[in-house]
Amino acid sequence: MTFAPAINDEDLAHLHRDLVAGASAQNLLDVAYRTVDSPVGSLLLARTPAGLVRVAFDVQDHDAVLTALSQQISPRVLEAPGPLDDVARELDEYFRGRRTTFDLPLDLQLLRGFRRDVVLHLPDIAYGHTASYAQVADLAGSPRAVRAVGTACALNPLPVVLPCHRVVRSDGTPGQYAGGAAAKLTLLDLETRVGVAA
């Protein structure tokens, strides 16, 4: 009886690179993803050919997020870091205090209706500033929809890039955040420190 030789990590990495290259060449890569380390923990980044479609915190369970993407967008999801190099670079610049806005193509297919209206107004909140849920409801054209704004922020598929962390309670306290309270405070503190230094 003969046994096949064991496949080592280098062989697996080579096979994975070939798979990514083949899928890209044949337009079979519908969702590329990678993870990056950040001051708010590991971030999952996912991109379609149209643009960045998802940013997820570790506490949101990256495996569950990938499963949801395979159900909501396409089952052709593959770890492929290259297509997300620009996203990783801009996030790194943001976390180093060298970037205050993002210049990335975005795929907003996971947003619909009022949630989409809310999330599209988040970049109107200037870097280093905050707005209350009520103020964002006004921006979105529905002043009474304060709770719906909270839900839209909680379900924002592109946190950090579309800055829902800048939305706070009317009394100025941070409120809830998909990445957790500590992540929200870290982002707000980063922007305050950079804003003061500038």
- Determine the pLDDT at residue 14: 43
Residues 26 and 62 in one domain: yes
Q: What is the Cα–Cα distance from 84 to 165, expressed in whole angstroms?
A: 22
CA–CA separation, 4 and 184 (whole Å): 50
Residue 84, burial from CB neighbour count under 10 angstroms (0-12, 13-18, 19+): buried
Provide the number of structural domains found in the chain.
2
Which H/E stretch holds residue 44?
strand 43-48
Residue 85 in any domain: the answer is yes
- Give CA–CA dist 198/195, Å, rounded: 5
Whether 130 and 54 map to the same domain: the answer is no
User: Do 83 and 143 belong to one domain?
Assistant: no
Q: How far apart are CA 74 and CA 124, in angstroms?
A: 31
**Other residues' Cβ atoms within 10 Å of the Cβ of residue 29:** 22
Look up the domain containing 63 and give its range. 16-95
DSSP notation for 76-137: -EEE-SGGGHHHHHHHHHHHTTS-SS----B--TT--HHHHHHHHHGGGS-TT--EEHHHHH
Q: Is residue 7 part of a domain?
A: no
Catalytic residue status for 164: yes
Which secondary structure element, helix H or strand E, spans residue 46, and what is its range?
Answer: strand 43-48
Q: Any idea which residue has 């569950």 for tokens?
A: 64
Is 108 domain-assigned? Answer: no
Is residue 33 domain-resident?
yes
Could you tell me if residue 47 is inside a domain? Answer: yes
Model-level pTM?
Answer: 0.85
pLDDT at 98: 95
pLDDT 10s per residue in the chain (198 long)? 566 666 766 654 544 454 455 555 556 689 999 999 999 999 999 999 999 999 999 999 999 999 999 999 999 999 999 999 999 999 999 999 999 999 999 999 999 999 999 999 999 999 999 999 999 999 888 989 899 999 999 999 999 999 999 999 989 888 889 999 999 999 999 999 875 555
142 and 187 part of one domain: yes
Q: Which two tokens mark 94?
A: 């943001």
Residue 78's alpha-carbon distances to 16, 43, 57, in angstroms, are 9, 16, 18
How far apart, in whole angstroms, are the C-alpha atoms of residue 33 and residue 53? Answer: 10
Q: Same domain, yes or no, for 89 and 119?
A: no
CA atoms 165, 167, 171, 172: torsion sign:
positive
Domain assignment present for 105:
no
Q: State how far the Cα of 186 lies from the Cα of 124, in Å rounded to an integer.
A: 20
Catalytic residue among 164, 178, 188, 190: 164
pLDDT of residue 196: 53
